Structure 1
C-alpha cells in the first residue's frame, strides 16, 4: 500500500510540470516581443519542435540515472568526466547571476505597483536611484543568506503557486468579461493570414531566446520518471505531451486575452513605449481586468503582492541554492579554489556569496547609465533569456553522450529506440538553444548588446580560470 502511494499518476505529473514551467510572465513576454497574436504561431512551433523532444530526452536521462540526485551535473559526470560535470554545475550557477540581478528590480517594481497602482512613479525615477535601491535590496538579501537565515524560502513555493493561479485566473476572467461588461472597450482581433504569420526578420530571430527561456527547465521533472504508476515508457511521454498541450492552450488563450486588451501597433510605436510595456504589461493587464469587473485595482494589488513575495523569495533561494549545489559536491568542488569553499559559523559559503555580490552587483551598477527604469527591466529580461538557456545545453550534451554509450546504461524509458532519430533531436535541440542564445545577443541598443556579450563571456572565463587557481593551490600544498 505504501509503495502504491508513492507512485505518481500521469496526469498528476502533467500538472506538476505545467505549474513548474509556465507562468503569466511568459504570456506577456511573448505578446510584447513577438507582435501580439503573431506569437501563437511561434509558440506552436516551439512546443512541437523543441519542448516535447526536450521533455522526452529528459525522461530517458532520468530513467537512466534514477539514483543520481544531482540532475544534469550527475548526468554529465556519469557519461563523461568530473571536469565536464564541474563545467555543467558552474554553468547552472553562473546563469543565476543575471537572474539574481533582475529579482531586486522586479521586486521593487512590484512593490511600486502595489502601493501606487501605476507605472509612472517607478518608471519616472532616475536610473541612478533605482539601481542604488536595487543594490541595497540585493545586499540585504545576500546578508540574510550569509546568516543562514532564509525565512522567505517556504514562501517561494506559495508565491509561485499563487502566481500560477493568477495567470490562469486572468485568462478565464478576460474571456468572461465581454459577457459581463459588454461595453468594456475590448479590441477586435484580426485573424487574417498576414496578421498571424510573423515576419521572419532579424528582430524575430534575435528574440527567439525569450521563447526558449520560457519553455526550458523540464529537467526538473526527471526524478519522477521511475516513480510513475504503470509503464513509465508509456505514462511519462503521455504526461509530458499533456503538459505541453496545457501550456499551448494557456499560451494561445492567454495571448488572445491580451490581444483583447492591447494593440501591438501601440506597443511597437517607439522604443520607450515598448520598454514600458515589457516592464509593466502584466500589471496593466490586471489593472484593466479590475476595470472591466468594476472592482478598481483590487485584482492588480493582489497580483502585485504575489509578485513582491515571489520576486524577493526567489532572490533568496537563487543566492543560496545554486551556490550549494556547486560547492557541496565533493567531486566537482575539487576544481573550485579553496577560499570559495570556506563556510562561516552559520554554514553559509561566505566567500561564494561575496563572489555573487561582485558579479551580480556589477550588473546592477552597470545599468546606472541606462536611461529609465523600464529600460533596465527590459534589458534584464533579454539578458536572462540569453544566459539562463545556456544551462539547457548540458542537458542535450548529456543525452548525446548517453546515446553514444547506450548499451552501458540500463533504463526503462526511451525517447525513441531509433539511434539516428535520438541523436538528430539531441543535436537539433543543442543547436536551436545555442543559436537562439547567440542571436539573442544582437541588439540595436549598444548598452544592451554590450551587456549581452560581456556578461556570458566574463562568467565563462571565470569558470575556466577557477580550476587553474585550484590546481596551483594544490601544487603548493603538495596535493595530487
Structure 2
C-alpha cells in the first residue's frame, strides 16, 4: 500500500530537472571531447546542440505536453503520430540502445569506483581467479547488473531517491570543474595551459582528426553527449502539472546542459596543455574509459602547483581530486543505471500491445514489469560476457563498446524526429504547448535534424573501416540491424496472431 501511494506521488519541476541531468549530462564527455579534439570540440558540441539537441528537446516538449496522460512514452507518441508498426520498430531499436549502454556502463562503472577508492584507475591491474583485467571487469559487470535489477524491482520510490542523489552529483561535478579552473587561472595570473588562438577553435591538435572524414565522425560523439532526453518521456504522466512543468523542465535542462558542455571544455584548457597531455593520453594505460579521471587528477595537481605547494603535496591533491571525481561519477552513473534499468523497459512493455509479449513479461509487481526486468538482465549479462571475453586489449575494448553505444543510441532518434512530422500534420491531436508554429519551420527542422543524425552515423561507421578497424565498424552497425530485424519479426507475428492485415 505504501509503495502504491509513493508511486502516485508526482515529480516536481526540480526533481524532473535532476532526473534529466542524471540521464543526459555526462561529465566524462567534456574530457573526452577535449582529449579527442581540444578546443575545436566546442564548435562541434555547439553545432550538435543547435542542429540536434535543442530542436529535439523542443520536439519532446510538444510531444510530452500533448500526451501528458499516456503511459507508453515514446511508443504512444509515435504510434498516434505515424502508425503502430513504425513506432514499435523505433521503440525496440531505442530500447536496444539502452541495452548497449547498460553493457558498456556495467563494465566501465568500476573505473570511477577505483578512482574513488585509490585516487587513480587501477582497473587494468585487477585480476580475479586467473582472469585478465578486461575479463575481471566483465565478471564485476555481471554482478552489478544483478544487483541493480534486484534493487530496482523493489519499487519506483527507491529508484527516485537514488536518481536525485545522482542528479546533484552531476551538477556539482561541473561546478567543481569551473570553480577550480577559475582559481587556477587566477593563481597563474590569467595564463592558460593551452594557449587560446582562433585556429585552435577550428583545427584539432590531434593528428587522428586531421581529415574531414575523421572530423565529421566526431559529430556522433557530440550527439551522444546529449543522448538520453527521450528516456524521460516515460515520466510525463508522473510529473506534477505536466502540461507546464514537463516542457519547462526540458527547456531549462537543455539550455543549461549545452552551456555547461561548452564552458567545461574551455575550462579544460586552463589546466591542461593538450600537446603535453597527448604524450600521456597516448599511453597504453589511458583509454576513453578512464581519461576523465586522469585529467581531473591533473587538475588537482595543477592546483597544488599554482598554490606554490611542493611536488609531493600537489600530487596528493591530485589523488584526492581523483577520489572526489570518482565517487561523484560513480553516484551519477548509479543514478542513471537505476533509471535505465526500468524506464525504457517500462515504456516498451506498457506502451506496446500486450499480445506481442509473453504473459509473464507484462505482469507488474511494485508498479514494474519485474519478470521482464530479469529477462533484460540476462540479455545484458550475455552481451557483457561476449564482449569482455573477446580477447581485445583494454584500450580497443573500450573504443569498441563506446562505438557500439554511440551509433545504437542515435539511430532511433531519427524515428522520433520523423514521427514529429506526422504529429504536427495530425490536426486531431490536441497540442497545448507549441514551439514550432509555422508549417515551414517544423518541416525544415525535421529535415535538418534527420540529416544531422544520419550524416553523423554514416561517417562514424565508415571512418574506422577506412583505417583498417573493421571490428569497430562491425560492432557499430550490428546492434541496430539485429534489433530492427527482431522488431519486425515480433510485430509481424503479432499481426498474424491478431488477424491484422
Do they fold alike, i.e. is TM over 0.5?
Answer: yes
Match of 1:208 in 2: 219
SS of aligned partner of 1:408? coil
Match of 1:466 in 2: 490
Q: Displacement, 1:131?
A: 2.3
Which stretches in structure 2 are left out of the alignment for 5+ residues?
Answer: 1-9, 127-131, 205-209, 305-313
Q: Displacement, 1:188?
A: 3.2
Which of 444, 448, 453 is matched with 1:424 structurally?
444
SS of aligned partner of 2:392? coil
Match of 2:461 in 1: 441
Q: Displacement, 1:116?
A: 2.6
Match of 2:168 in 1: 161
Q: Distance in 1 between matches of 2:156 and 2:434?
A: 42
Match of 1:191 in 2: 197
Q: Distance in 2 between matches of 1:374 and 1:28?
A: 16
Match of 1:246 in 2: 256
Q: Distance in 1 between matches of 2:272 and 2:424?
A: 47
Q: Distance in 1 between matches of 2:331 and 2:66?
A: 37
Match of 2:207 in 1: none
Q: Does 1:376 align with 2:392?
A: no
Give the direction of change, closer, same or farther, for the CA distance of 1:49–1:427 in structure 2 (3 Å limit).
same
- 8 Å contact kept, 2:95–2:348: yes
- 8 Å contact kept, 2:56–2:449: yes
Match of 2:31 in 1: 28
Q: Distance in 2 between matches of 1:22 and 1:133?
A: 25
- 8 Å contact kept, 1:163–1:303: no
SS of aligned partner of 1:178? helix
- 8 Å contact kept, 2:346–2:368: no
Which of 72, 76, 79 is matched with 1:77 structurally?
79
Q: Displacement, 1:102?
A: 1.4
Match of 1:259 in 2: 269
- 8 Å contact kept, 1:63–1:226: yes
Q: Distance in 1 between matches of 2:459 and 2:384?
A: 21
Which stretches in structure 1 are left out of the alignment for 5+ residues?
Answer: 1-5
Per-residue CA deviations over 1:203-249 (Å, capped at 9, x if unaligned) read 122221111121244444894796449xx9xx959x83x65553343
Q: Distance in 2 between matches of 1:50 and 1:18?
A: 17
SS of aligned partner of 2:289? helix
Match of 1:3 in 2: none
Match of 2:477 in 1: 453
Q: Does 1:310 align with 2:309?
A: no
Q: Distance in 2 between matches of 1:264 and 1:145?
A: 41
Match of 2:183 in 1: 176
- Could you tell which deviates more after superposition, 457-466 or 306-315? 306-315
Pairwise CA RMSD:
3.9
Q: Distance in 1 between matches of 2:63 and 2:158?
A: 34
Match of 2:46 in 1: 44
Q: Displacement, 1:37?
A: 0.6
Matches within 5 A, 1:64-143: 64-122=66-124, 125-142=132-149
Q: Distance in 2 between matches of 1:275 and 1:203?
A: 23
Per-residue CA deviations over 1:343-377 (Å, capped at 9, x if unaligned) read 78997543553354235522442232343334333
Give the direction of change, closer, same or farther, for the CA distance of 1:141–1:423 in structure 2 (3 Å limit).
same
Q: Distance in 1 between matches of 2:288 and 2:106?
A: 17
Q: Distance in 1 between matches of 2:156 and 2:428?
A: 43
TM-score for the superposition, normalised by structure 2: 0.78
Q: Displacement, 1:342?
A: 6.1
Q: Displacement, 1:390?
A: 2.6
Match of 2:288 in 1: 278
Q: Does 1:290 align with 2:300?
A: yes
Q: Distance in 2 between matches of 1:45 and 1:344?
A: 44
Q: Displacement, 1:100?
A: 0.8
Q: Distance in 2 between matches of 1:354 and 1:338?
A: 13
Q: Distance in 2 between matches of 1:149 and 1:42?
A: 37
Which of 44, 58, 61 is matched with 1:59 structurally?
61
- 8 Å contact kept, 2:220–2:456: yes
